[in-house]
Amino acid sequence: MNIRKNITGVQHIGIPTNDIEKTVEFYQSLGFEIALRTVNEAANEKVAFLQLGNLVIETYENRAAALRNGAIDHIALDVKNIDEIFEEVRAAGYRMMNDTVQSLPFWEHGVKFFTIAGPNEEKIEFCEKLA
């Protein structure tokens, strides 16, 4: 069996939270839409699935979120025109983790990226593969 043939991409990324409304509002401000809101009765947790294109984030209010860096390292969003987006995000007042757009020699022509902090101290990376 070839596992790779059965994997089509990211299904969702889980982010625990102590304040689901604050978390939902933050991701909606980045363009995510609520795909599903529900309650995990067994765990007594409010749950929201937030979707932007084919990226889905599951956030759940467990009242025990670590709220520290490392619980989730980062979520990378594929973008075009990184410099323009950097200026828009900075102007919107998000908590920037980089003072400038960064670069790495990944992929064929490299990548440019920057990172902001989310409401649970998760890192959100905006990344453009260079052509």
The DSSP secondary structure of 89-126, one letter per residue, reads HHHTT-EES-SS-EEE--TTT-EEEEEEE-TTS-EEEE
Q: What is the pLDDT of residues 26-82, one digit of tens each?
A: 999 999 999 989 988 888 999 999 999 988 898 889 888 888 777 776 787 888 888
Range of the domain at 122: 66-131
SS3 127: strand
- CA quadruple 95, 100, 104, 107: dihedral positive or negative? positive
Q: Pick from 49, 64, 79: which residue ends a domain?
A: 64
CATH number at residue 120: 3.10.180.10
Q: What is the pLDDT of residues 34-47, one digit of tens each?
A: 998 998 888 899 99
Q: Identify the H or E element spanning 22.
A: helix 20-29
Rounded to an integer, what distance in angstroms lies between the CA atom of residue 15 and that of residue 84? 28
Same domain (yes/no): 111, 122: yes
Same domain (yes/no): 78, 30: no
Extract the runs of DSSP E, i.e. beta strands, from 24-106. 33-40, 45-52, 55-61, 74-78, 95-96, 102-104
Average pLDDT of the residues in 104-117: 87
Domain tally for the chain? 2
Cβ-based neighbour number of residue 33 at 10 Å: 10
Same domain (yes/no): 72, 117: yes
Same domain (yes/no): 58, 88: no
DSSP state of 128: E
